[in-house]
Amino acid sequence: MQRSFLAQNPSVMWFLAALGLFTVVVTLLAEGTGTALISTSFVKTLGKVLCLCLIAIAMDVVWGYCGILSLGHFAFFGIGGYSVGMWLMYARTEAIVETSMASSVIPPTSAEVQDAIAAQIFGVVGASEFPMIWMFSHSLVLQLLMVVLVPGLLALVFGWLAFRSRVTGVYLSILTQAMTLALALYLLQNDSGLRGNNGLSGLQNIPGFDDVPQSTISMVFFWASAAALGAGYVLFARVLSGKMGSVIRAVRDDEVRVRFLGYHVESYKLFVFTLTAIVAGIAGALYYPQAGIINPTEVAPIASIYLAVWVAIGGRGRLYGSVIGAAFVSLLASWFTGGGAPNINLGVYEILWTEWWLVLLGASFVAVTLFFPGGIGSLFDRLKGDAK
């Protein structure tokens, strides 16, 4: 089945081939595994971009294919990051605490160790005890389960509430945005149990691998991100092929008609919303160990809107389009805001791209929506059209 599915979808084959080639090239050029033409920090940037591509295809499925403009998928991304970050932070602090206590005359009790870890982690918000939500943080397996379960359950409950009362279109977008805002505000509180606006930090250090250099760790995460992107792409391509894809696109185009065909539209929306939320959570879990830090601003509503921007610029309704959009815009953003772009001196005024990049992005976004609704991805269709 799988073989025939890939054979039936040559674009998936092409995508996997391109992704594989890219991974091999980066591996050969990277500091940790190859000729060191690519620095470790840039490997991390590329790995992060792959994670962003993964959430972008999730966004494309939910918006481009199913017609739900969710402004909340970055919230799921953030939850994934927080879930894995809790374990990273706990395990690493535990190692530090145990080292520092090893020299004491009497071996510490487990309660003493726990108290010391809690004081280390929550000292910044003036607390010294573990909140309830950290009850699984000692276990990598349970926290990884939470990467999938928490976004999945949140999406399931929220989606069920929203879809059953037939909230659609811009109303749904605003509602998802409100959900994201509520989450961000919650995380900002010091007593949220997630360190308020300090967020979780030091996530780039993987407990138990202290001796492994960052250059190697970064490559492992890069490969993992590439594998996740490939797997996510195949998963969504499979979901969107055949009759399921037909129904999902039909829901986007005319929900009422689908209902009268006897399909329970809400179940389909819920399926797509939840599945993409889970994928977004996984993408976040891979992203934040590479970023090193996660805080509530990452979850703010604006992030989810940027996600929509990437997908729109890349081209909605094409999985590869969203990948291109996310990679292109996020790399361009780091080029412009990182001072890589040359400033333009107009004589009377000098355009500093760090200041003007957002103006450019906003304007080009309007232009894409108005004049180029297919996005970058539609260029490929034109090429294909010419080839025919």
Q: How far is the CB of 117 from another protein (least distance, A)?
A: 15
Q: How far is the CB of 328 from another protein (least distance, A)?
A: 16
378 binds another protein (CB under 8 A): no
Q: How far is the CB of 268 from another protein (least distance, A)?
A: 5
Residue 310 to residue 328: CA distance in whole angstroms: 8
**Cα–chain center distance at 192:** 22
Q: How far is the CB of 132 from another protein (least distance, A)?
A: 16
Query: Interface residues for another protein in 172-211 (CB under 8 A)?
Result: 173-175, 177-179, 181-182, 185-186, 188-189, 191
Query: Interface residues for another protein in 68-87 (CB under 8 A)?
Result: 69
Query: Interface residues for another protein in 98-117 (CB under 8 A)?
Result: 104-111
Q: Are strands 350-351 and 293-294 parallel, antiparallel or unpaired?
A: unpaired
Query: Interface residues for another protein in 1-60 (CB under 8 A)?
Result: none
**Amino acid code (one letter) for 125:** V
DSSP letters for 232-279: HHHHHHHHHSHHHHHHHHHHHH-HHHHHHTT--HHHHHHHHHHHHHHH
Q: Using alpha carbons, list the distances in angstroms from residue 342 to 126, 336, 358, 364.
A: 45, 9, 16, 19
User: Considering beta carbons, is residue 149 or 305 the nearer one to another protein?
Assistant: 305
User: Considering beta carbons, is residue 210 or 253 the nearer one to another protein?
Assistant: 253
**Amino acid code (one letter) for 193:** G
Token readout for 117 is: 């870890």
Q: How far is the CB of 367 from another protein (least distance, A)?
A: 8
- Member of 8, 100, 246, 345 binding another protein (CB under 8 A): 246
User: Considering beta carbons, is residue 143 or 176 the nearer one to another protein?
Assistant: 176
169 binds another protein (CB under 8 A): yes
User: Considering beta carbons, is residue 211 or 253 the nearer one to another protein?
Assistant: 253
- Scanning 6-14, 38-46, 242-250, 330-338 for contacts with another protein by CB under 8 A, the matching segment is 242-250
- Where do the DSSP E strands lie in the chain? 200-201, 293-294, 344-345, 350-351
User: Considering beta carbons, is residue 202 or 373 the nearer one to another protein?
Assistant: 373
Helix (H, G, I), strand (E, B) or coil at 157: helix
- Member of 98, 257, 339, 381 binding another protein (CB under 8 A): 257
65 binds another protein (CB under 8 A): no
148 binds another protein (CB under 8 A): no
Length of the chain: 388
Residue 233 to residue 236: CA distance in whole angstroms: 5
Query: Interface residues for another protein in 279-318 (CB under 8 A)?
Result: 301-302, 305, 308-309, 312
Query: Interface residues for another protein in 311-370 (CB under 8 A)?
Result: 312, 355-359, 361-366, 369-370
User: Considering beta carbons, is residue 264 or 384 the nearer one to another protein?
Assistant: 264
> How many residues sit in the footprint of another protein (CB under 8 A)?
75
- Scanning 117-125, 199-207, 260-268, 325-333 for contacts with another protein by CB under 8 A, the matching segment is 260-268
Residue 150 to residue 79: CA distance in whole angstroms: 7
- Member of 10, 262, 342, 347 binding another protein (CB under 8 A): 262
Do the beta carbons of residue 202 and residue 87 sit within 8 Å?
Answer: no
φ/ψ bin of 281: left (φ > 0), alpha (ψ from -120 to 50), beta (otherwise): alpha
Closest CA to 289 of 348, 208, 212, 201: 201
Q: Using alpha carbons, list the distances in angstroms from residue 167 to 76, 152, 158, 260.
A: 20, 20, 11, 18
